[in-house]
Structures are given as C-alpha cells and as structure tokens.
Structure 1
Amino acid sequence: MARSSRLLQGTTGSYVDLLTVLKAGQDAEAPQKKKRKLNATSTPPNLPVPNKDIEDSNADSSKVEEDAPVEEEDHEVGDADSTSEDSDDDGEQSEDSFRQHFVTRDAEELSRFAKDPRQAKKSPAVLLDDTIRRSWIQASNDSKEPHRAQQIEDLHLKQRLVTKGAHLLHSLNTVQRDLAGAVSSYCDVVAAIRTVQNASVLRNICMLHALNHVYKTRDLVLKNNAKLSQSDGDGLGEIRDQGFTRPKVLIVVPTRQSCVRVVESIVGLSEPQQQENKARFLEQFSQDDDEDWHQKPEDFQELFGGNHGEDFRLGLKFTRKAIKFFSGFYNSDIIIASPLGLRRTIESGSKKEEGDAAQKVQDSDFLSSIEVVVVDNASALQMQNWEHVEFVFQKLNLLPREAHGCDFSRVRHWYLDGHAKYLRQTIVLSAYQTPEINSLATEHLLNIAGRVQYTPVYEGALTEAPKRLPFSIHQSLLRFEAASVAAEAEARLKMFTSLIVPQLLRGGDSLRGVLIFAPTYLDFSSLRNHLTSALERTAVSFGHVSEYTPVKEVNRARSHFMNGRYGILLYSERAHHHFRYRLRGVRRIVFYGVPENPLFWTELDKRRVRALFSKWDTLKLERIVGTERVSRLLLEKGSDTFDFV
C-alpha cells in the first residue's frame, strides 16, 4: 500500500507504470467482495488511521431511525455481489449525454484538449424572455451547444425519476427550461439569476440531475458486474466504469438550513422507501425561524432563517431502497457541505505513521472522483469567506494519496491520466455575477463540454429606490480613474479625502445623519483610520459598525447616530448583509463603493445619495444604474459626475 501511495502522488501523465506496480501486489491488496454488516469494522493494518470527520461524516452513523427497518444486506455501487436485477437499466442510448460525456468520450480528443484547455470561444449573447442574457462558451471544436429541454426525453432520466421529472419540467418557464437543458448536457453552468422566488425551482433542477447521475453511475457498475460474473472476465475486454473513490456529486451550500432544503429536494424527487438517520439529521441541521426576523427582507429570511450554522458536512449513501444520512465520505454518493466544513475536514487530515512518530497530512482523496459540483447561492458564500471556496476547488480531482480499496483495473483512463477535471461539471447558482465568480470559472471550470452563462438584464436599483419612498431622492455617482485593480484602492481613498470629506466638514457642528457605506472590511479599516485623524480637530464625532463590532457597541453607535451625537456613522456592507440593522436618523448616504448586492441600495432610507465608482466596478455598477446606462457612465468624456433625480 505504501508503494502504491507514493506512486499515486508522483503520477502526472501515463498510467502504465501505475498499473504495473499495483498488479505486482494485486494478490495481496485486491479488494474483497463487500457485504454490508451491522457490526463495527476494524481498520486494516498498514493503512493510515482514518479522519473521524471523513469516515463518520461528522457523526456516528450507526443510529437508525426507529420506523425504518434495516436490510441485512444491500447492494452498493461497485459491489461484486450486485447483479443487473438491482439496477434500473433503461437501455443504452447513443444520444444520452451521460454516455457521451463519460462513457464514450474519445481519449485522444481529451488529451489534446488537456494540453490547452483555456482556448474558449464565446458566442454573442442571446436574449431569453427579454430579461436574461444567455452566453455560450465553446471549450473545444467538438463542444456542442446545449438545447432547451422541451420534453422529458430531452433530460435522459432514469425511469424512476421520469414521473417527478415530468412534473418539474411542466412547471418551468422558458429560461428555466433552457437551464435544465444545459444542466442535463453536462456542460458547466454559471447562472447569476437566483432569486428567493426561483431558488427552490433551480435547486430541484440541479438535484434531479445529481440523482440521475448517481443512478446512472450505479447502474452502469452493476450491469458490468453482472457481465463479469457471468463470463468470468473472458472475452469482455477492458471494462472501465469507475473512479478512484465512490463520491460522485458535491453540493456546496452556505448554511445548515440550506442543506436541509437540498435534502428535502433529493428526498422528494427520489422517494426512497427508507431514510436511515433522518430524525437525527433534522435534529442537528433544522431549526424554526427566529420570530424576530419576520420584519427582515425576504432574502435575509431565506438565507439566515432556521439553522444558519456555517460549519457542517454530510454524506448521503444511496442503496436500492434507502438513503443513509451521515455515511462516511468514502462510502457516500453525494456530499453536502459548506466550504468551511470541507476545509476543516481536509485540513484535519489523517494520521500517517513515519517511523515512531505519527504525522497528520491533509486528506482530500474523497474529492478525487467528483464528477458533478453544485455551488448554490454563491453570492452568499462570497459574504462568508470566498477563500474557502477556492481552497475546495483546488482539492477537486487530484490523484489520491491512498488507494482506499480501489480496483484500478476498472478505473477510467482519464482518471489515471489526471484529466478528470476536464470532464467535471460545475453548476454555480448566484444572485449576481462577481469578479470572484468569474475568476473561479476561468481557473477551475475547464469542462470540455463548454460553459453556459445566464445574466439578467438590469433595470437598475436607482430606479427602484424612489418608488419605495414618499419623497424625492437625489442620487449622484462620481467616477474616478484607476489604471489597474491594484491602484484602485489608493485612487478611491484619494477621491474620498480630497472631495467628499471637505464637503461634509463644511456643515461644522450641524453635521448629522451622514452614513458612509464601506463595501469591504479593508475599505472600512482605511476609512476608520482616516476619519479618526481628520475629525480629531473638529467638533464632528463619528461611530462605526462592522460585522465584527460587539452588540453592545453596535447598539450604542446606532443610538448616538439617531439622536445626533454622532454626525457620521461608518457602516460595512457585510454588517448589513449579516444583520440588516434598521438605522434611524439617516439623511444622506455616501457609498464609498457601489454595493455588491443591489438590494442594499434600495433598503436604506435616505434623501441624498453619493457613490464613487471606477471602471473596475462594472458588474456592480450595472446592477445599480441598469444595463442600458452602464456604458454611458463608464465611457462618457464630458463629466465624471452623473446625477439622477
């Protein structure tokens, strides 16, 4: 095992040497036929001690829901005892996107693509329903643009999913049918069209596809097992239908309650006869909404309602009749987790014996064979810590450190060649597009099948703000120049200190009700330091509220701002995202940068608004001023000030 482990770490191209070495020890290390037993299993000798978070999926999985009887034996994916009778084989169809993408994929074509995977060609955007722009990015010459799902046959579903799938498809609008067709074609999808109203529909589309992928993977293995058992391996040639490890679908969500919604979607679509550990899952992951939050905006309630814990992971294992919650990651088909939960699991690692000392190493092998990734509510994940998301994607589809009982004679060639990332499908659902999401797509969404992007046509948040208030609002945007992204922070601060601050201080002692909105914590810190020094010789006092400010200090700052003791209140965007404070006493707002979330522009009551922007704020600016106006604000030469009344 140690020898195969070292070779796996060093392999970068051909798999010939890998198979040669592993076959030499095949008799000693060949995986045994597995039968599920209810008693505890022991750790084989000479293997690293497993990480408890990975093996137990964050909990002891021996407890079973009382009303769900347990079968003495069930057939798992890849079990040698499983037969075709346990599969839901619907027959092989050459047009099936699963077969075209994973089974019949041309190895030479994939090898050519792997040498230069970033030569994509973007087609002009197509307008759907006059509200959504759809862009097709062709990854290779053989990439085929996906078609809209018009009928249930277009989704190529397993028979057990057809009824639920047909009901779902019937309820979809034009844009959602187009997205369903793109998802089922196995191309990458970046959809910045997620709202509170359509979140459940988009989730159901993705979970239907994830279940279909799990079932097709399982049934292909079972069918090949039956062929091997009947023929004793003679005359069948090479059968390669597996990855290094069992997990095939990774679902990344921001909170425990959003994990509950994903599970509800999976259960509703698959309708299993048994759900083991379901009661325990609901106890640990689900909570009732806080009654005090009913006055909060609906997007806040959808994200933070119920259990909004951000550190979790869950393994789901599918058998013929049941779904098992809290299965060990290496025995799971679907993993649902937060970026923070995954990172902590990976970094906690496993113990590796080296001489007399035990050393911990990172263990991300359970992500080595992920074929479908769903990132739900990516805009909310960015408000947590986007670095965790990038960390997880860096660990996907790496060659494993250990064999984990893998039968390498059935591992697909492109896994052994390290090309799995070029076949992995990634689906990103977000409320809006950001540079971070675009960077993730450029760096990690390398699917040979291409990519589809969905972006709304924006009316502009500044047109919505006056509709909510009984008085007129003067909205002004000030443009400044920055040669690069690196130089933008300094240029923005210079614009603020030379133009905005002097105008504010002209009010002297009478200055009150000024809210300064900082987009990032770095901006918040810079402004706090500058205001401290700039106002120390004046009669103007200011308070500050960030996502890290203690509750007691927040209450004091809000109270002093409302009664005028603080003329200025410095407020961070993440504080507003996480708490949605209702700030009283606001007379004017200065947006140090346009907010990432356009809803924030309309939520804060005010009579006068000023905002700074540069060309590097294009995505955010479009959501504020609208798709039609954004080019004029960026390119107009006559003036750098734009007023909207």
Structure 2
Amino acid sequence: MAVQHRQRRPHVQTKKGGRGARIHKQEPSTGFSSSRTRDTLEDAEGLSSDEETSGQDELAANEEGSDSENENATPAQSYATLLRALKPAATTSERPAKRRKLENGRNFTEVKRRLSDGTEPVSADAEEGDDLGTELAEEAEHEAGAAHEMDEADSDDEDFILHDPFERHYGNVVEADLAIAIEQQEQRGTSGKTTVGNGVRKITTSYGQPSRPAKNNKGSGGLNIKRRLTEAGTAVTSNLSSEEQDIMSEMFAYRDTLCGCRSLDNAPRLRDLSALHAVNHVFKTRDRVLKNNAKLAQQSAEDAEYRDQGFTRPKVLVLVPTKQACVRFIGSIVKLSQPDQQENRGRLTDTFSQLEDDSFENKPQDFRELFGGNHEEDFRVGLKFTRKTIKFFSGFYNSDIIFASPLGLMRTITTGGGKKEKKGYDADFLSSIEVLVMDHANALEMQNWQHVDYVFSQLNLLPKESHGADFARARSWYLDGKAKYLRQTIIFSDYLTPSISALASAHLHNIAGRVKYIPTYTGAMLNLSPSIPLNLTQTFLRFDSVSPHTDSDARFKFFTSTILPNLLRSSNKATNKGTLIFVPTYLDFVRLRNHFSTAQETTSLSFGTISEYSPRGDVARARSHFFSGRHSIMLYSERAHHYFRYKLKGVRRIIFYGVPENPIFWTEMIDALGMNAQMDMEWAQSQRGKQGKGLVRAIFSKWDVMKLERVVGTERVGRLVSEREGDVFEFV
C-alpha cells in the first residue's frame, strides 16, 4: 500500500486554566521529510523500531529561540515549544515527570515532560498520518500516560523471563545457541504422535532436544498475556474444547501451528485465540521498547545496549481470503483490546463490510460463511495501536498489524497496490514480521496458491532501504538475516492439503518446532442424505502412478482407456444420459475438454462444460442442455462448484475424475444424483435391484491419500492405497 505524505503546518490548540495557547510554526523554506517526522514521533512513543531522529538533540538548546529562529525550526523544535507552553506552573504539587534520553550518536538529551491533568490534547480523524498536528497530539497523549504504561511493562526478573514464552523466544536469544538451533533445524527433525481431544491427531516436530510439552491451561492465567488483556482473554479461553486448549498452548509457546481441524463451529474461537496472541505479541513488543527507553534515560553510560527492535515496525501479518473475513478478524482484535477510540472505523465499514446477499439463503452454511458479505479478494489494510486508540488504514511502515489477501499483498509488493503512480518492488515492510496468521487456508488455495507462496518468499528478507531503522537497537538475528528462524506461522484450514504441507516444508523454519493437528475422519461417503430414494454403490478405481509429477498423465491415460470406452458404448442409450464428470483441477479440465472436442472417437458425444471462468450465459445454456438431455455429458470443475455451488439438474451418473479436495463436495454431488431420482421416478424405478452400481465412480492414485481419507474415512484409507488389496473398491 503506497502512502503519500503531505507537509502541513502543525496547528495545536490547548486549554489550561481557562486560557488558551495557540502555537503556529512555519515550516523551513527548504522543507522537511514528513516520513522522517513520523518516525521521530513514533520512536518517542516507543512503538516503532525506526531510528530516533537527530533533530531532537538540539531541543533544549533551541527552546528559547527568537522569532527568526522559529522560522527555521524543525518539527522536533515545534514540539518542544508546544511542551514548553503546556509546562505546569512552578507552584504545582505534582511530582517531577519521568525523563527520557534518546541516543543519537553519542549525545543524550532530555526531551519531554508529562502534561498536566488539565491538558486537553488535540484529536483529529486524519488518515494515514497526513495531519502532523494529530500525530503531535497522539505523542502528547502517550506521554501523559507513560507512567501507566510502565506500570504494566514486563518484568526483568529471571524467573519471569524463564517462563514467559515471548522473552524466551525473542528476548533472551544467545547467538551461539541460535546458531546451534539453526543447524539442527536445517537437519531432519524428530516427530512424535499423540491424540488430543476428540480423536484429533497431533504430530509434533522438534529439532535437537525434544520440545517441552505445552501446558493445557484452561483460562488465560498460564499464558503470560498482558495484564490489560487478562479479562478479555479469560472470556476467550474459558470455554475451549480439549483440542482447542492444546492448540492455544502451542500457539502461545511460539511454535509453528498447522491446524487442519477448522470448522464452522470452532472458527470464531480459533480466530479469537489467534487475535489474542497477535495483540499480546504487539503489546509485549511495545512495552519492552518503552521499558528499555526508560532505562536509557536513567543510565549515563554511553555503551548501554538494548536489542529490542527489528528493521521496520510491522510485527504481525494476517492473511485472510476476503474483506468480510478481514472485518471479522479486526472485530476480534477490537473486542480484545477495547480501545477508547477507533480512527477511520467508518471508512473500514464502508469499504470492507457488506450485508449478506439475499440469494445466499439457499446456499450451504460453509458457502455463506466464506462468501457472505463482501467477498472481494484484493485488499490490504494496516492497523496501528496507540495508548488508547486503534487506527485503521495506517501506512504499512507505520502499522503494527497488516491484514491482506495474498493477491492484494502481492500487488502491493510488485506494483504498489494498483496505484496510478506505480512504484518499484518493495517488500521491506515484511522484513520484521514475527507472527504470521493465515486463516481459512483451504479457501486461499482455491484462489491462487502461487500468490501465497510468493508472499511467504518475501518474508524476513534484508530490507533494501533503512526506512529510518535504529540499527543500534536492532536484534542481532535481524542483522544476520536469521529472522525467519524465529518467525512463528499459524495456519488454520478446514483440511490440510499437499500444497499446505509443501508450503510448511519450504518456508517454515521456526527453531521452536512445529505442531500439526489432523482430525480423524469418518468419511464423507457415509454422510449421504437419507432422502435419496436409491441404494448407491460407491466405487473407487485405483490406477498406478509412479510419481506426483506424472500423476496427471497417468490419470488421463487411465480415463481414456478404461472409463471413456464405456461412455462411448452407452452414448446412444437414452437411459444413460446425464453423466456428470467432476474434475478437481483446471488443467485436467482443459485437457478433457480439448480431448472431447478434437479426438476422433469422441465425435459422437455431446457434452457441455462449466468452469470457474465460464460466462454466466454459457453456464445457463450448458445447464439447460444437460437437464433436457441434449448434452449427455457435463464437465464440471471443482473451483466452479466452490465459487458458485450450482445445483445441477438431470444428473444420473457421476464420475469423479479425481477425489475432491473438499469432502463436502462429494456429498453435494451425490445429493444432486438423489435430487434427480426424486424428480424422475421412472428412472429411479429402473435402477432398483441394481444396487446403484456404476452410478458413482471415482478414480484415484496413491498420491490422493490425503483427500481420499476425508471421503472414505481414516480407518479405510489404508486398504485403498495398499498394493495388496486390489484396484477396485466398492462401498454399499
């Protein structure tokens, strides 16, 4: 997201004791960088990892400057004048304010005093930090509550550091130990399998020494979360199932978490848990910087060193499939952090949220959850925390959390997000991501998985530019390019796929280890509607495939040599019309379509096609011809069903060219067969006594074991992929 900065004259109005003080500062004629000014203010607030600007070193010396000097005053000097005007009277009984020192080279300077209780900071609803006066007011507000912030800062007690996962993972890293851990991580880890909750299989991968088992803490007391999040965190964690408690413990222990048991029921709870973890991480990072700033202010030694920052400010990245999903996740963050104000919330609601379409009333519940509301897939938005405020649409380099779809983030990195004035490649705002949450990963896979893989490839790279970073405060493992070994990745998916597993193998390098949760499946083939007036035999045909790379060729050869001849022999029989061929991938769909169109032996076949790219008119025509019998075969892609959930009429036989990734689709396709049986009782009567043989067939190879397990069940899948059990399997 490109952020344009405009230079404005700071305009701050305050009231004290019934008298107002208005201060205007003219910008120097040579101009100044508003981006740099923002970095200065953010560093004073203790929220940013950007280096502290040099203009503050001369604050005390320039406080008594003349009017002519004011004409050339820097923004930092303007802010000093503001504080001088608001300084409490000498007779006040208020205790002396805390003092800070900011390092710039070898110089330390006292820069601020707390505002008195009567001060009313200016507030405005500017977008993306355009209003410099608003940012000055935010800084003043922060300084007024600095004491309160420090009261909640984390302890330096050794026992606390030993038990706080945040401090163990990020704050107490010894370079020699990190080098050993990285070497162990790059080797093959050790795995352990256990069962948690209601048959959920947990696979733990550790490197070097076995990972200590996470504690199942019911409630938030054992999670070491910030005090201000305790009440809201307890409400989130108090009603979790046993497997959700285990997921929570592993997540807060900063281990990579791949959860393949997301569902309509637990999705809100998993979202709240990941939002709690993200906000807690941001607050801990913020408060650690504040605490170290205070230490620097109290120390006189020039060689004091605190490594508590990265290259850029964003620390959390959240990938979700749609704008409405983004709004839901932001809603969880707002519920947990309970800010006093939300800047640009109206803009967020107007541009990201919509009411559910009335036409969705007859759609399945999982479809309504994903596509209800605003289902646009190209978006990105930054979120920034101040002491009492959440600000939406903040610039990426000025944000704590970035929300985006893979498509929107890829476009931002490569083209500046589709702006009229395109910029060059820029992924530096992802250089310091420490926690990544990817929700509804199976929906992201249906969009374009290459975008996901590209985003992961851009994480934790060394930045091309400094962006005002304070390298004296940057953690050593950032400087050494080893940040990816400490980044935590959390993935929630309705089911795990080979693409997700490959992504984890290629891009997840967390030295803390990895956990994977896989549910035990009963099998979608057992979840058929009882209203189907047929006894169906579900047949699975296995073909030999040497490797995943040649699987598509082997599948096509098996189909054309085994399945297609039967279709050709029955193509002239009216009772054998209505054959639906369900194709999981678009490449296989195109291959079959071209073969039916050009092969000599298929000239007698009349067929229609529906893919995710088919125009609406072509879809209506193909559905009508298939229902009337004009087309005896329909080629139907899985992604078309994912995006539209068409209810096809006239289905009399189903051939699964491959097992669908989503097990719900298996059930819905057979429901279409049952719906036709209810509408065409004559055909249904003709099928009685045949036990429905030949009406449902699926071809598969041993490389389909993950999605096959979801259809036939965990207990049966071993038989289907075993070489000793034959090649044809029938389930009545």
Which interval holds the TM-score relative to the shorter structure? 0.7 to 0.9
Q: For 2:577, which of 500, 504, 512 is the aligned residue?
A: 512
Q: Secondary structure at the match of 1:560?
A: helix
Is the Cα contact below 8 Å between 1:148 and 1:177 reproduced in 2?
A: yes
Is the Cα contact below 8 Å between 1:466 and 1:473 reproduced in 2?
A: no
Is the Cα contact below 8 Å between 2:708 and 2:717 reproduced in 1?
A: yes
Q: Secondary structure at the match of 1:205?
A: helix
- Within 1, Cα distance between the matches of 2:179 and 2:430? 22
Q: Is 1:592 paired with 2:657?
A: yes
Alignment correspondent of 1:628: 715
Output the amino acid matched with 2:323.
R
Alignment correspondent of 2:390: 323
Q: Is 1:248 paired with 2:315?
A: yes
Alignment correspondent of 1:228: 296
174-183 or 632-641, larger mean C-alpha shift: 632-641
Q: For 1:199, which of 239, 246, 267 is the aligned residue?
A: 267
Q: Secondary structure at the match of 1:549?
A: coil
Give structure 2 stretches of 5+ with no counterpart: 1-49, 58-74, 80-125, 674-691
Is the Cα contact below 8 Å between 2:339 and 2:388 reproduced in 1?
A: yes
TM-superposed CA distance for 1:529, in Å, is 1.1
Q: Is 1:73 paired with 2:137?
A: yes
Q: Is 1:432 paired with 2:495?
A: yes
What are the superposed Cα offsets for residues 153-182 of structure 1, whole Å, 9 maximum, x if unpaired? 221110010001111111111011110101
Is the Cα contact below 8 Å between 2:51 and 2:469 reproduced in 1?
A: no
Q: Secondary structure at the match of 2:366?
A: helix
TM-superposed CA distance for 1:114, in Å, is 2.7
- Within 2, Cα distance between the matches of 1:386 and 1:596? 14
TM-superposed CA distance for 1:230, in Å, is 2.1
What are the superposed Cα offsets for residues 419-455 of structure 1, whole Å, 9 maximum, x if unpaired? 1100000000001010110011111111000011100
Structure 1 residues 377 and 595: CA distance shift in structure 2, 3 A: same
Alignment correspondent of 1:262: 329
Output the amino acid matched with 1:219.
D
TM-superposed CA distance for 1:151, in Å, is 3.9
Alignment correspondent of 1:559: 624
Structure 1 residues 396 and 522: CA distance shift in structure 2, 3 A: same
TM-superposed CA distance for 1:143, in Å, is 3.7
Is the Cα contact below 8 Å between 1:120 and 1:138 reproduced in 2?
A: no
Q: Secondary structure at the match of 1:409?
A: coil
Q: Is 1:529 paired with 2:616?
A: no
- Within 2, Cα distance between the matches of 1:333 and 1:621? 41
106-115 or 240-249, larger mean C-alpha shift: 106-115
Output the amino acid matched with 2:242.
T
Q: Secondary structure at the match of 2:608?
A: strand
Q: Secondary structure at the match of 1:471?
A: coil
Alignment correspondent of 1:108: 176
TM-score by length of 2: 0.76
- Within 2, Cα distance between the matches of 1:359 and 1:506? 58
Q: Is 1:613 paired with 2:700?
A: yes
Structure 1 residues 116 and 216: CA distance shift in structure 2, 3 A: same
- Within 1, Cα distance between the matches of 2:662 and 2:384? 37
Q: Secondary structure at the match of 1:562?
A: helix
- Within 1, Cα distance between the matches of 2:492 and 2:293? 37
- Within 1, Cα distance between the matches of 2:291 and 2:479? 22
Is the Cα contact below 8 Å between 1:367 and 1:395 reproduced in 2?
A: yes
- Within 1, Cα distance between the matches of 2:167 and 2:638? 46
- Within 2, Cα distance between the matches of 1:205 and 1:230? 38
Alignment correspondent of 1:412: 475
Q: Is 1:345 paired with 2:446?
A: no
- Within 2, Cα distance between the matches of 1:477 and 1:341? 40
Alignment correspondent of 2:192: 124
Is the Cα contact below 8 Å between 2:323 and 2:377 reproduced in 1?
A: yes
Q: Secondary structure at the match of 2:356?
A: coil
TM-superposed CA distance for 1:60, in Å, is 4.8
Is the Cα contact below 8 Å between 1:372 and 1:425 reproduced in 2?
A: yes
Output the amino acid matched with 1:321.
K
Q: Secondary structure at the match of 1:123?
A: strand
Q: For 2:282, which of 196, 214, 220 is the aligned residue?
A: 214
Structure 1 residues 76 and 296: CA distance shift in structure 2, 3 A: farther
- Within 1, Cα distance between the matches of 2:267 and 2:258? 14
Is the Cα contact below 8 Å between 1:36 and 1:72 reproduced in 2?
A: no
Structure 1 residues 27 and 105: CA distance shift in structure 2, 3 A: closer
Q: Secondary structure at the match of 2:391?
A: strand
Q: Is 1:543 paired with 2:645?
A: no
TM-superposed CA distance for 1:250, in Å, is 0.2
Output the amino acid matched with 1:288.
L
- Within 1, Cα distance between the matches of 2:255 and 2:213? 9
Q: Secondary structure at the match of 2:697?
A: strand
- Within 2, Cα distance between the matches of 1:234 and 1:438? 49
- Within 2, Cα distance between the matches of 1:123 and 1:348? 41
Q: Secondary structure at the match of 2:643?
A: helix
Give 1 or 2 for the bigger CA radius of gyration. Answer: 2
- Within 1, Cα distance between the matches of 2:224 and 2:344? 31
Alignment correspondent of 1:641: 728
- Within 1, Cα distance between the matches of 2:224 and 2:615? 53
Q: Is 1:460 paired with 2:523?
A: yes
Q: How does 1:146-161 map to 2 (within 5 A)?
A: 146-161=214-229
What are the superposed Cα offsets for residues 269-313 of structure 1, whole Å, 9 maximum, x if unpaired? 111000000001000000000100111111100000000000000
Structure 1 residues 531 and 628: CA distance shift in structure 2, 3 A: same
Q: Secondary structure at the match of 2:528?
A: helix
Q: Is 1:179 paired with 2:243?
A: no
- Within 2, Cα distance between the matches of 1:480 and 1:74? 66
- Within 2, Cα distance between the matches of 1:449 and 1:554? 50
- The structure whose RCO (Cα within 8 Å, separation 6+) is larger is 1
Is the Cα contact below 8 Å between 2:184 and 2:208 reproduced in 1?
A: no
Structure 1 residues 379 and 76: CA distance shift in structure 2, 3 A: farther
Structure 1 residues 194 and 248: CA distance shift in structure 2, 3 A: same
Alignment correspondent of 1:22: none
TM-superposed CA distance for 1:507, in Å, is 1.4
Output the amino acid matched with 1:581.
Y
Structure 1 residues 504 and 76: CA distance shift in structure 2, 3 A: farther
- Within 1, Cα distance between the matches of 2:212 and 2:618? 57
TM-superposed CA distance for 1:637, in Å, is 2.0
What are the superposed Cα offsets for residues 123-167 of structure 1, whole Å, 9 maximum, x if unpaired? 332112342101111033264332222342221110010001111
Q: For 2:558, which of 477, 492, 495 is the aligned residue?
A: 495
- Within 2, Cα distance between the matches of 1:187 and 1:292? 42
Structure 1 residues 187 and 36: CA distance shift in structure 2, 3 A: farther
Alignment correspondent of 1:450: 513
RMSD over aligned Cα atoms? 2.7
TM-superposed CA distance for 1:462, in Å, is 0.8
Output the amino acid matched with 2:657.
Y
Count of paired positions: 587
Q: How does 1:15-54 map to 2 (within 5 A)?
A: 30=54
Alignment correspondent of 2:347: 280
Give structure 1 stretches of 5+ with no counterpart: 1-25, 39-58, 351-357
What are the superposed Cα offsets for residues 67-98 of structure 1, whole Å, 9 maximum, x if unpaired? xx968523499x99995543431434120000
TM-superposed CA distance for 1:466, in Å, is 5.3
- Within 1, Cα distance between the matches of 2:284 and 2:76? 22
Q: Secondary structure at the match of 2:730?
A: strand
TM-superposed CA distance for 1:29, in Å, is 7.4
